[in-house]
Amino acid sequence: MEMVVINLLNGVSFGLILFLFAIGLTVTLGVMGLLNMTHGALFTVGGFVGFSVVTHGGSFWLAVLLGGIAAGIIGFIIQASFLRRLYRQLDDQVLLTLGLVYIIENAVLWIYGGDVSTVNPPSFLAQKIPIGSYTFPLYRLALIVIGLMMFLVLWWLVEKTRLGAIVRAGMDDKEMTVALGLNYASTCGIVFSLGALVGGLAGFLATPVIGIVFSMSMEILLYALIVIVVGGSGSVVGTLIGAITIGIVDAFGKAWFPDLAMFTMYIVMIIVLLVKPTGIMGRKTWDD
């Protein structure tokens, strides 16, 4: 029973990292119809910028902030320079952003090298709490709290603000939203940059748990895409449900079926696609 609780907590904490990472990708896809393959690279950028801040004497929380800002700035440049011209051009989006992934990865490799880097959590979160005869890292519990707080903020932003209303209107009908005179282009830029920023935050918050290495962009992106398929594109609540589901399945898969661990999340994705192809909380996307 103790191991069940520990695996459950491991899964939820990893799931909330996935939520913070995937939320920018799912809203970007739902709002703008942009499949941004560079999102995984922005996760890596956030992790390494935060790593640089800590290794040069900065605080952990300053590193979180600067890692997110760095990813947000790069995301803004990518959207403003390239992606805003490729609406509904899925093939071009994928080719362009995949090329940018390799450029960013090689830049990170050149600067930081190819070794896995990690940092220690803040000293007050470096403790472990007892669970029966086992212990569990306090930092992972902090990740759960941070992830849930960020979920509430993002849910409020999308569901209760004017910016969120424009976002939701654009998800349903971009052309009508523009025809009503709403500044949809600026909204897209804000949403894209905010999604990149949150992805960068997730990149550094995950570093004490999983480490960071230049080549992990596509692996973490794959997790995010599965989360979006399971939870539903464009839904904040769906992304949370999908992320926690995949996090728990991944944790128990690695604990109970290590030889099949890589396949467990695909099984969940296949079941969801068979039962509800739009995802658990899915809504119609730009090309439906």
Give the orientation angle of helix 236-256 with respect to helix 261-275, to 10 degrees: 140
Q: What is the pLDDT of residue 207?
A: 93
pLDDT score, position 285 = 47
pLDDT at 230: 92
The residues that bridge with 135 in the sheet, in sequence order, are 130
* Domain boundaries along the sequence of the chain: 17-217
Q: Which residue has the tokens 């794959």?
A: 222
Residue 128, SS3 per DSSP:
strand
Q: Residues 37, 97, 151, CA angle at the centre, nearest 5°?
A: 35
Task: Label residue 232 left, alpha or beta by phi (over 0 means left) and psi (-120 to 50 means alpha).
Answer: left
Q: How far apart are CA 163 and CA 124, in angstroms?
A: 37
Q: In angstroms, rounded to a whole number, what is the distance separating the alpha carbons of residues 67 and 55?
A: 13
User: Which residue, among 159, 161, 174, has the nearest Cα to 240 in the 3D structure?
Assistant: 159
Closest to 198 (Cα-Cα) out of 71, 36, 8: 71
pTM of the model: 0.87
Q: Which two tokens stand for residue 36?
A: 């941004």
- The angle subtended at Cα 151 by Cα 148 and Cα 155, nearest 5°, is 145
Encode the chain (288 residues) as per-residue pLDDT tens digits.
778 888 899 999 999 999 999 988 887 876 667 788 899 999 999 999 999 999 998 899 999 999 999 999 999 998 888 877 776 677 788 888 889 999 999 999 999 988 888 999 988 888 888 887 788 889 999 999 999 999 999 888 877 887 777 776 666 666 666 666 666 667 778 888 888 999 999 999 999 999 999 889 888 999 999 999 998 877 888 999 999 999 999 888 888 887 777 788 888 899 998 988 888 887 654 444
What pLDDT is stored for residue 119 in this prediction? 92
Q: What whole-number distance in Å separates Cα of residue 249 and Cα of residue 265? A: 6
